[in-house]
Structure 1
Amino acid sequence: MAVLDTPKLSTNQNKLIKKLRRNVGKAIFDYNMIEEGDVVMAAISGGKDSFAMLDILIALQKSAPINFKVIAVNLDQKQPGFPEHILPEYFESLDIPYYIVDKDTYSVVKAKIDEGKTTCGLCSRLRRGTLYSFAESIGATKIALGHHMDDMVETMFLNMFFGSKMKSMPPKLLSDDKRNIVIRPLAYCRESDLIKFSNFKEFPIIPCNLCGSQENLQRQNVKAMLTDWDAQTPGRVEAIFKSMKNVSLSQLADTNLFDFQNLKIDRSTEKEEYEFEKEHVSSSNIDESLYINVTNI
C-alpha cells in the first residue's frame, strides 16, 4: 500500500503529524478501539475529518503491535452535483481498499423535510442505518467515524441546551441492537489541528452543502460560543472534554444513575477529623441539655 505522507514536510508539519498520530494512538489505547484481527470500516464522507482519520489509521496500521485491516467506505447519497469520481480516484491512487455504496437517501430526505428546514438530522440517521447494515455485510467489526474533540464538546452543549440531556458522542459506542461498534479515533484531536493537516495534505475535499441544506444553526451558535471561550482562555475545550471523562454521579442530579433517596448517615464508624473542625461557639440561645450528645457533635 502506498505511503500517505507528503515528502519534504516542514518541521511544523512533521510535529503536527506526530501530535495527531499520538493523540489517535492514545484514544485507541484508552478505549480499546481496535483489537487484533479487527476489520475497521472507515466511513469517508469526503470532508477533512474523515480524510484525516483514514490517513492516520493507515499510518498507524503499519506500526501498530497488532494486525487489523482498514477498508474505506463512502456512502453516495445521490445528491445532485456530487462528484462521484473524486473518492474512487483518491482511493485508487493510494491503493486503499474501498467500497462506494449507492443509496438514494437524498430523495427520502427531500420528500420528508419541508423546504428551508435543515435536513442534517434525518440525513444522518439514514446514513447511519445504511452504514451499520453494510458493515455487517462485509464482516467489519468496527465502524470508524471522523468526529473530533470539538464535535463531541459541541454535541454535549447542544444536548444540554436544546434537549435537556447531558450526553455527547462517546469515543466508543455499542449500537442499540448490539450488532455494531462505532469508534471515533479522532476523539483527542482538535479541529484546528485537523484543518492544518488537511491543508498541507491537500485532500480532495467534497463540500457537505450539495443538498442545499445549511449546517444546523444551533450547532453554529454553540461552536461560536466555544470558539470565543477558547480564544479568551486557551485550553477551555480540552478542559471541558476532560470533564466528560471525569464524571461524579453523586455530584449531579440523575436519580436513575445514583440512589439519592436512600442516602443515610452512619456515625458508627470511627470519626475522621474534618479540616477546620475545631470551631468555638461564642454565642447561642440553645439549651444544649435538650440534645443527646450535643457536645460530641
Structure 2
Amino acid sequence: MRKKGVDALMHSLMGKAIGKFGLIEDGDRLLVCVSGGHDSMVLLYLLQTRLSFIPVNYELHVLHIDLGFPGGESDRLEAYLENFGLPYTRVKTEIGPLSHSEANWENPCFMCSRMRKKLIFQTAERLGYNKIVMGHNRDDVLETFFLNMAFSGEISTMIPMQSFFDGMFLLIRPFYLIDEDVIRRYARRHEIPSFHDGCPTGKNSKRALIRSWLETLYPHNRKIKGTLFHALSNVKPDYLPKNL
C-alpha cells in the first residue's frame, strides 16, 4: 500500500533510524516505555503496525511507570492500551510527589528522571527484557544537548542506541531523526490520543526554558534545526579548549 504525506515521512524516518543505527533485529524482545504522551503513543502504534509489512519479527511488551501525580490519567491510559492486545505492565509509584517534595524543590525533574529510569531497568530485568524502547525525538536530542551544556557544564546528549551496565540493557530511540511536530501531525491523522501524567512543573522546567529559546531561533531560517542536529556529529576537537 502506497503511503502519502506524513505517513510516508514517519515510516521513512523511523525505518532509516532503525536501519542506520541497528536498533531492532529479528527476534528482538522489546520493552516499550509508554508515558501517555504523543511520542510514546505513536511509537507503540507504529511498532505494532510495522509488523504487518516488514520482514523482521519482534516481540512487544508495554511498560508504564505511573508517577503517582494527582490528576494523572494512568487509568484512562491503561484502558486505552487494552486495544493493542499486548502484554502490559503498570508500575504504580509515588515518584512524582516525592520528587516535588519541599526537600527537593530546586530540581524535581532530575530526581524524577533518575528514579524513573532506575525503575525501568529493574522492571526490564524482572521481566527478562534487555532492549528498552523510548520515544525521544529529534527535538528532545537538541534540547538535551543545550540543557546539558547550560545546566551541567558538559557537551553531551541522547544517542540512538545506548548501552547500560556493560551491555546488560540497550536503550533505543527509533524516533531519533523525527521532529516532534511530525509526530503530532501523525497522531492527529490517526486519532491517536495522549494522556497527561499530572506533572505540575512540566511547562516551567529547565527543558521547557531551552525549548522556548530554540523556538525563537527556528523562524529565522528553516535550516537551523537541521544544521544544529548535524553539528552534533561534526565536532572539531582542535577548536575546543581543554582544561578550562
Give me the TM-score of the superposition, normalised by structure 2. 0.89
Select which of 161, 181, 187 maps to 1:172.
161
CA RMSD of aligned residues (A): 2.2
Range moving further from structure 2, 33-42 or 98-107:
98-107
**1:219: which partner in 2?**
207
**1:291: which partner in 2?**
none
Give how far 1:171 is off: 1.1
User: Which string of whole-angstrom CA distances, capped at 9 and with x for unpartnered residues, describes residues 48-86 of structure 1?
Assistant: 111111112112233232221121111112222223332
Select which of 229, 241, 245 maps to 2:229.
241
Select which of 74, 84, 89 maps to 1:84.
74
* Inter-partner Cα distance in structure 2 for 1:252 and 1:65: 45
Select which of 131, 142, 149 maps to 1:153.
142
Q: Is the 8 A contact 1:25 1:60 kept in 2?
A: no
- 1:176/1:236 Cα in 2 relative to 1: closer, same or farther (>3 Å)? farther
Counterpart residue type for residue 124 of structure 1: S
Q: Is the 8 A contact 2:36 2:196 kept in 1?
A: yes
* Inter-partner Cα distance in structure 2 for 1:54 and 1:235: 29
**1:185: which partner in 2?**
174
- 1:94/1:65 Cα in 2 relative to 1: closer, same or farther (>3 Å)? same
Matched, 1:228 2:216: yes
User: Which string of whole-angstrom CA distances, capped at 9 and with x for unpartnered residues, describes residues 125-162 of structure 1?
Assistant: 11100001111121212111111001101111111222
Give how far 1:113 is off: 4.0
Counterpart residue type for residue 229 of structure 1: L
**1:19: which partner in 2?**
9
RCO higher in 1 or 2 (8 Å CA, sep ≥ 6)?
Answer: 2
**1:45: which partner in 2?**
35
Select which of 65, 75, 79 maps to 1:75.
65
Contiguous gaps of at least 5 residues in structure 2:
none
Q: Is the 8 A contact 1:75 1:100 kept in 2?
A: yes
* Inter-partner Cα distance in structure 2 for 1:162 and 1:107: 23
Q: Is the 8 A contact 2:72 2:196 kept in 1?
A: no
SS of the residue corresponding to residue 182 of structure 1 reads strand
Give how far 1:213 is off: 2.3
Identity level (%): 26
Give me the TM-score of the superposition, normalised by structure 1. 0.74
* Inter-partner Cα distance in structure 2 for 1:81 and 1:94: 24
**1:36: which partner in 2?**
26
Counterpart residue type for residue 214 of structure 2: L
Counterpart residue type for residue 195 of structure 1: R
- Number of residue pairs the alignment of both structures matches: 242
**1:287: which partner in 2?**
none
Contiguous gaps of at least 5 residues in structure 1:
1-10, 256-297
Matched, 1:56 2:46: yes
What aligned pairs does 1:128-147 form with structure 2 within 5 A after superposition?
A: 128-147=117-136
Give how far 1:238 is off: 1.5
**1:293: which partner in 2?**
none
User: Which string of whole-angstrom CA distances, capped at 9 and with x for unpartnered residues, describes residues 36-57 of structure 1?
Assistant: 2111111000001111111121
Counterpart residue type for residue 28 of structure 1: I
- 1:233/1:62 Cα in 2 relative to 1: closer, same or farther (>3 Å)? same
* Inter-partner Cα distance in structure 1 for 2:177 and 2:164: 22
Counterpart residue type for residue 164 of structure 1: G
Q: Is the 8 A contact 1:47 1:205 kept in 2?
A: yes
Matched, 1:205 2:191: no
